Amino acid sequence: MPENELHKLNPDWENLERARAGDERAWRWLFERYSASLLRMGALITGSADSAKDLVQETFLRVVNHAPERRDGTLRAYLSTIAFRLALKEKERFRRDLHEMGEDLPATDASPLESTVRSEEEREVLKVLTALPETQREILVLRFYGEHSYEEIAQMTGLPVGTVKSRIFYAVKASQKELRKRGVL
d(CA 112, CA 12): 33
Mean predicted confidence (pLDDT) in 102-129: 62
Residue 139, CB-side half-sphere exposure with 13 Å CA sphere = 25
Structural domain contains residue 38: yes
- Averaged over 109-121, what is the pLDDT? 55
| Whole-angstrom distance, CA of residue 52 vs CA of residue 38 | 8
Has residue 156 been placed in a domain? yes
The per-residue pLDDT for range 5-32, each reduced to its tens digit, is: 444 444 788 889 999 999 999 999 999 9
pTM, entire model: 0.66
Domain count, the chain: 1
**57 pLDDT tier (thresholds 50, 70, 90):** very high
27 found inside a domain:
yes
Residue 185 in any domain: the answer is no
